[in-house]
Structure 1
Amino acid sequence: PGCRPCSTARCVPTAETACIPCSSPEAGRLGTNAAGPGRLAGQTELERLRRSPKQGNNMSSGVFRTWVLGGIFALVTYTGSASAQLILSASHTDASCNGANNGTATAQITQNGVAPFTYSWSPSGGTNATATGLTAGTYTVTVTDNNGLQGTASTTVGQPETLSGTQSQINPVGGNNGSATVVATGGTPGYAYSWTPSGGAAATATGLAPGQYSVTITDSKACQTTLSYTLVAPAASVQSVSVPPDGTYSAGQNLQFTVTYSAPVTVTAGGTPSIPLTIGSTLRQANFVGGSNSSALTFIYTVQPGDVDANGVSLGTAIDLNGSTMTSGGANVVLNLANVGATTGVLVNGQQNQNITFPNP
């Protein structure tokens, strides 16, 4: 800056200075605040005028101002702006997963302002130009420049829908023939699947036995969710009961019944399963004799002397365990009998032959 008498000054404005004659209306508005002729006004007064919207509106447009000091003028490089507000915008990146806190927001100054700038984000985000660690929501930044000018801008951080899946399953029947399926929803498409303890890496796991399974879904942005399945084999049930052929059975002969199940059945020790059998008016038991770990179980009753039934034997309605267990796929089987063959022709005559002695004539 330089100072010359108003009457002799030849002011030449440049890109960094501006000139205002002493007779200019602005000269009177600016006033003086110097320690003596030929000295610039104090910084306090300069700051006050620069930040005052009223003074700023009264001053000519531009970023440079001239101070008049008791009959002389001074050329002053004034690096402030007549604008009372910064113009800025804000952009963002969304959170990668629903509920994640890795979104960002960035402030961009588009007009006015003098560096350095300070930043303040709310309701969170810190004091840098870019706020990080954000969850979904709207964020506002206030920017203040070196001259105290301020501006605000807002942006909304988004998030994808919750990653989930629609589940379905087919329970195994008699072996490892169950399956489980998941249809992924939400998140960001581009899904990968991982089944445990077995099942592969597709949306449908096959070849499953009864038991607990889980699938982890991972989307294209590494978001994950895990779903659980419980596959339970339906209890094995009796499909049919075959009976002895029609005829009359004598003492010592066997009546054999075969119970066919829907799946292999394991019979364990602790007792002997049996089927109630009525011969005449007497209740007997056809005992289990073999077929464990298969679907066909064999029960036999041996006709005892004195057993008589001229109308056909009849079976009870269910198997008695008598302390044993019968399971299939780890689950107890259904004991009720079904589709029992006709026994009206299965007759019993267990009486011993009587020798009749006729007297001599």
Structure 2
Amino acid sequence: NLLCNAVCNGAANLTPAGGTSPYSFTWSNAASSEDLSSVCANTYTVTVADANGCTTTATTTITQPAAISLSTGNTSSNCGQSDGSVTVTATGGASGYAYLWNNTGNATTTAVTGLSSGSYTVTVTDANGCTKTASATISNTAGGTASITVNSNATCNGLCNGSATASMTGGTTPYTYSWSGGGTLSTKTGLCAGSVTVTITDHRHRHHHTANRLNCHCYRHSRNLQRER
């Protein structure tokens, strides 16, 4: 039988007995040899005739495993960083698969992380040595743009009664806010005249590592508050 799907290297061995030799052979695929070799998966019938013209028939079926099928997945990278990932799932063939990804330092796992945008190819080899390749493409997700709108300026010198609202376009909601001097809402009140800074973090761009440390995917914008005259 075949070890790999659609690879025509099957064989059938015939052993005639009885009658009077020599024998002649006529196979359904037009072969006239006693045995079959290098044949594809199929059912074959042979007619054997002996020296007296007596005939008999026999049938054999050569099988093959299911074709290897690969399904790939990916997670895009963010803002040009190496935080994308690719995955592969193999079915068919003979179980006990080996994996090899290109452009990843020769990773041999079903999932590879820490990748930048680009195309990645995986070769899967099953237990019979049959191979199949597939590709996965990681796209890059651009970040958003942050801005601050001054709602009201400080009314007098030394009074901290100004307010400002932060906003962001693009990226992935929800957003979180961190104002200089404290504050986690989109609008900051009680501001003095001077410079105020807000850091807005896109939900998708937050990467939880030890102690919830954020990778560099925050958006900063500064705006000066003026005293009203």
Q: Shift of residue 100 of structure 1?
A: 1.5
- The alignment yields a C-alpha RMSD, in angstroms, of 3.1
Aligned structure 1 segments of 4 or more residues deviating by more than 3 angstroms: 240-246, 253-263, 293-301, 346-350
**Equivalent residue of 2:15, what SS?**
strand
Which structure 2 segments of 5+ residues have no match? 158-192, 206-215
CA distance in 2, matches of 1:147, 1:206: 72
Match of 2:14 in 1: 107
* Residue 69 of structure 2 is aligned to residue 164 of structure 1: yes
* Residue 85 of structure 2 is aligned to residue 185 of structure 1: no
Q: Shift of residue 176 of structure 1?
A: 1.8
* Residue 27 of structure 2 is aligned to residue 121 of structure 1: yes
Q: 1:232 to 1:150 in 2, by over 3 A?
A: same
Larger relative contact order (CA 8 Å, sep ≥ 6): 2
Q: 1:257 to 1:248 in 2, by over 3 A?
A: farther
Q: 1:179 to 1:109 in 2, by over 3 A?
A: same
Equivalent pairs, count: 179
Task: Give per-residue Cα distances to partners, 1:60-99, cap 9 Å, x unaligned.
Answer: xxxxxxxxxxxxxxxxxxxxxxxxxxxxxxxxxx122221
Task: Give per-residue Cα distances to partners, 1:236-262, cap 9 Å, x unaligned.
Answer: 124x54567952599xx9766657464
CA distance in 1, matches of 2:156, 2:55: 110
CA distance in 1, matches of 2:91, 2:156: 68
Task: Answer 1 or 2: which has greater helix percent.
Answer: 1
Q: Shift of residue 168 of structure 1?
A: 2.7
Q: Shift of residue 116 of structure 1?
A: 2.2
* Residue 39 of structure 2 is aligned to residue 147 of structure 1: no
Match of 2:140 in 1: 233
Q: Shift of residue 169 of structure 1?
A: 2.6
CA distance in 2, matches of 1:249, 1:213: 60
Identity percentage of aligned residues: 30
CA distance in 2, matches of 1:216, 1:99: 18
- Trace 1:1-361 onto structure 2 (pairs within 5 A): 94-110=1-17, 112-124=18-30, 126-174=31-79, 175-198=81-104, 200-238=107-145, 241-242=147-148, 246-247=153-154, 260=200, 262=202, 295-298=218-221, 349=228
CA distance in 2, matches of 1:228, 1:194: 12
Task: Give per-residue Cα distances to partners, 1:164-205, cap 9 Å, x unaligned.
Answer: 123333323352222222221001112111111216011112
**Equivalent residue of 1:154, what SS?**
strand
TM-score (norm 1): 0.43
**Equivalent residue of 2:5, what SS?**
coil
